[in-house]
Chains A and B, each alone.
Chain A
Amino acid sequence: MKRIPASGRLALLTLLALGSAGAQSSTPSAYTGPKVQLTFLHGFTGADRPVMERLIQQFNAAHPNIQVRGQAQPWGTTWQQLPSLVASGRAPDVVVINEDQITNFIARGAVSPLTDAEMRAAGIDKSRYYGPLFQTANYEGKSYGVPISSVAYVMFYNKDLMQKSGVTKVPTTRAELLRAAQQCTTDTSGKKAGQAGFNKANLSTWGMSLYNNWVGSRLAYAAILQNGGSLVDKSLNASFNTPQAVEAVQFLVDLVQKHGVARANSTEEAELAAFSQGKVCFFPSGQWYTDRFEQQKMNFGVAFVPRIGSQKDAAWGGSSHLTLPRQRAGYDANKRRASLEFMNWMTAPAQNLTWTEAGSLPVSPVVARDKKFEGRPIAGVFEKLGSIYATSGFPWGGQVLAPFDNAWANAYSGKQGVKAALDAGVSEANKQITQARKSFQ
């Protein structure tokens, strides 16, 4: 019980725990009904699979009246199968859905909403999780899932190159980022960015990595959010061409075209290699590269994406949510209660701490404060995990993100001006959304 924050909900949990706590469980069981068997479908098929299987075993051992049978299969297979499973009334009891798919499945009615009463009864406390992370599975004012796993866009920095370049502070603002990047950027004749005679076509080290794929475009997403913009407007039409968005993306493109501190026309692989080889100070990308740099014994740090915009901190994050698919009429209510119990247990601090071994970030602040993370590079972003936002909340993820990624690639490569690229992307996205809307009527 020690990891459950001391607050009013402790009393509630204690009440719920009366007579039901499993002998081996650190959290009380809310489910007291007859023995049920649950099917649990998830896409953790890689190195994360054994961790998940271990957790399921622990759950089963601690809950004699609930037996969970986990089934791991590739995410894409699940997205293709889930509609027919739900339509034919054969959906698994619990399914993990990722942030880029979840709103689509919610809007199509594949997932059933979790009522406040149900969540209370199962001990699921929204405030336990990072706010925006929990909201990723919200749609039209209702909650549809509980976050179990998350990844985020961060900024890796090479301490050795920074020191060599005379950068003493990890940049957190737009001005600091530009200044630090200029200090890190040297051409082959030793001139720094901004100096007279600096040749930005022939760099030996440079300030910051930008690149042309979807991961690269997530920095533009962060910048837009930070500037008060968003991908879609209130009516869920694409809106990533607002003045705030254009201003934010323009700053990133200027890092290449105007300031010469980032390479033009680069790929993620090239930037990853450059960062590993100590040729670039700042490499914004997914936190999933942390292990790789640790194994390389690099002298690196992990920071939250600097504040490029003027409104708030923000970075992109991906997440996985435990959801309850829509079931056929007459579905056993005990199974639903048991499923909610499973969702609560699996995302509780003790289990979430175990789950971070699989490469996930903590889903709740109490886990982020665990001693285990002290001194680890990744802990550098923990303070701001509450400012991570998924590309979610609109049912037409593909229709918005593909044009957005393409717009970023065109702006970054200089093929189109920033405004023109974003305008073209929004126009394409909205045409696609028009067609998609018909499917939801």
Chain B
Amino acid sequence: MSLSLPRENVPPRRRRSFENSGLTPYLYLLPFMLLFLVFVVYPVGYGFFVSLHRWDLLAETRPFVGLEYYRNLFDFSTPQAQFFWNSMLNTGFFTVVSVPLLVAVSLGLALLLYRPIFGRSFFRAVFFLPGILTVSVMGILWRWMFDNQIGLVNAVRTDLLGMQPLPFLSTEGLAWVPIVVGTLWWTIGFNMTLYLAALGNISQSLYEAAEIDGATAWPKFRFITWPLLGPVTLFVFVTTVLASFQLFGQTLVITNGGPNRTTQSAIQYITEEAFTNNQFASASAMSFMFGLAMLIFTVLQFRIMARDAREGT
């Protein structure tokens, strides 16, 4: 009997002290933490280390050069500065043009396809399906559609409308048309689906109440639908901006960055510097500058949009 007491008491005490220590949540986090350290923190740290050295795995020495590669990005006599900021501007341009379209058109489609119209599922599928294609398939398709000589778009212009063909793929400025249109076609379904889900969460009683008060379609949208879609609009906006910043495959396949690097995206140029020019340190420095720009932009956007969303609800 003398032993039975401690036996009964000790285990609960141990359990309590373990629970009290507060370690449990960290133990649950540990597996992910390890993965995070190995696959995120370490590569990022290593990348930064690389960007501070003249880096070639095969070289005998890899001398420390400090911020030389970062300085190059602000010295406009170097091709690096010229092409990097050019590619950043291109990426920014694409984002500014494509994001409002990707948000507005997907919202419009969702509003249309939320109604109980005939063939609703079919139309939803039609807009969603392009999203399952790989970027190379989508790119080749739109490159052909807009080909200067054999493209469908120019065939319509010349044969049906009697206009002159436009060399979309090789004209500065115009080359963005197939890229933006193609991206819109390719990714609109995903945003549309998010909006459809959000529309399903709006209580019909709000609309019924508004109808009793004599509200027409526009006030219902303006004062019920739009504010209640605020959180999902924020989500759609932020993810679309981030996806647009990461523009790569579309320009690579449709125009290969041309003509004259006018559609070259930041990631495409960083890839060129790393794997075509074998300038890994320079490319790492560019990646960090690019990451920094995205980070600043995302934080600003979150602040502005989150406030709007809160005010809206």
Q: Is A55 close to B, CB under 8 A? A: no
Q: How far is the CA of A290 from the CA of B279 in the complex (A)?
A: 37
Smallest CB separation, A414 vs chain B (Å): 10
Give the residues from 261 to 287 in chain A that come closer than 8 angstroms, CB to CB, to chain B.
Answer: 263-267, 269-271, 273-274
Q: Is A212 close to B, CB under 8 A? A: yes
User: How many residues of chain B are within 8 Å of chain A by beta carbon?
Assistant: 32
Which single member of B167, B169, B260, B275 contacts A79 (CB below 8 Å)?
Answer: B275
Q: Is B58 close to A, CB under 8 A? A: yes
Q: Is A142 close to B, CB under 8 A? A: no
Q: Is B56 close to A, CB under 8 A? A: yes
Which single member of A84, A212, A436 contacts B278 (CB below 8 Å)?
Answer: A436
Contact A399 B277 (CB under 8 A): yes
Contact A270 B57 (CB under 8 A): no
Contact A439 B170 (CB under 8 A): no
**Chain A hits for B148, CB < 8 A:** 265-267, 270
Q: Is A86 close to B, CB under 8 A? A: yes
Instruction: Give the residue name and chain of the A residue nearest to B80 (CB).
Output: A435
Smallest CB separation, A144 vs chain B (Å): 14
Known contacts A108-B58, A409-B259; A270/B150 CB under 8 A: yes
Q: Once A and B bind, how many residue pairs between them come within 8 Å at the CB atom?
A: 93
Contact A439 B260 (CB under 8 A): no
Q: Is A48 close to B, CB under 8 A? A: no
Smallest CB separation, B140 vs chain A (Å): 9
Contact A267 B169 (CB under 8 A): yes
Q: How far is the CA of A108 from the CA of B59 in the complex (A)?
A: 7
Q: Is A380 close to B, CB under 8 A? A: no
Q: Is B282 close to A, CB under 8 A? A: yes
Contact B170 A267 (CB under 8 A): yes
Give the residues from 232 to 270 in chain A that come closer than 8 angstroms, CB to CB, to chain B.
Answer: 263-267, 269-270
Contact B170 A409 (CB under 8 A): yes
Smallest CB separation, B63 vs chain A (Å): 9
Contact A436 B58 (CB under 8 A): no
Q: Is A80 close to B, CB under 8 A? A: yes
Q: How far is the CA of A76 from the CA of B271 in the complex (A)?
A: 12
Chain A's interface size range is 35 or more
Q: How far is the CA of A104 from the CA of B58 in the complex (A)?
A: 11
Contact B78 A267 (CB under 8 A): no
Known contacts A83-B56, A439-B59; A263/B149 CB under 8 A: yes
Q: How far is the CA of A213 from the CA of B256 in the complex (A)?
A: 9
Q: How far is the CA of A108 from the CA of B54 in the complex (A)?
A: 13
Give the residues from 353 to 405 in chain A that come closer than 8 angstroms, CB to CB, to chain B.
Answer: 396-399, 402
Q: How far is the CA of A201 from the CA of B167 in the complex (A)?
A: 13
Smallest CB separation, B156 vs chain A (Å): 16
Contact A398 B278 (CB under 8 A): yes
Please report whether the interface of chain A is mostly helix, strand, loop or mixed according to DSSP: helix
Q: Is B231 close to A, CB under 8 A? A: no
Contact A436 B279 (CB under 8 A): yes
Instruction: Give the residue name and chain of the A residue nearest to B140 (CB).
Output: A269
Contact A398 B256 (CB under 8 A): no
Q: How far is the CA of A87 from the CA of B261 in the complex (A)?
A: 34
Q: Is A431 close to B, CB under 8 A? A: yes
Contact A80 B260 (CB under 8 A): no
Known contacts A267-B149, A396-B277, A439-B56; A431/B78 CB under 8 A: yes
Instruction: Give the residue name and chain of the B residue nearest to A264 (CB).
Output: B167
Smallest CB separation, B159 vs chain A (Å): 13
Q: How far is the CA of A267 from the CA of B148 in the complex (A)?
A: 7
Q: Is A438 close to B, CB under 8 A? A: yes
Give the residues from 98 to 150 in chain A that come closer than 8 angstroms, CB to CB, to chain B.
Answer: 104, 108-110
Q: Is A406 close to B, CB under 8 A? A: yes
Contact B147 A270 (CB under 8 A): yes
Smallest CB separation, B166 vs chain A (Å): 10
Contact A109 B147 (CB under 8 A): no
21 CB-based A-B contacts, threshold 8 Å? A76-B275, A86-B58, A87-B58, A108-B59, A212-B259, A267-B149, A270-B148, A271-B149, A398-B272, A406-B258, A406-B260, A409-B260, A413-B170, A428-B79, A431-B77, A435-B79, A435-B279, A435-B282, A436-B279, A438-B54, A439-B56
The list of the 7 closest CB pairs from A to B, nearest first, reads A398-B276, A270-B149, A83-B57, A265-B167, A108-B58, A87-B57, A398-B277
Apart from A406-B261, A409-B259, A431-B79, what 17 extra A-B contacts exist at CB < 8 Å? A87-B57, A104-B278, A108-B58, A265-B148, A265-B167, A267-B149, A273-B150, A274-B149, A274-B150, A398-B276, A398-B278, A399-B277, A406-B258, A435-B72, A436-B279, A439-B54, A439-B278
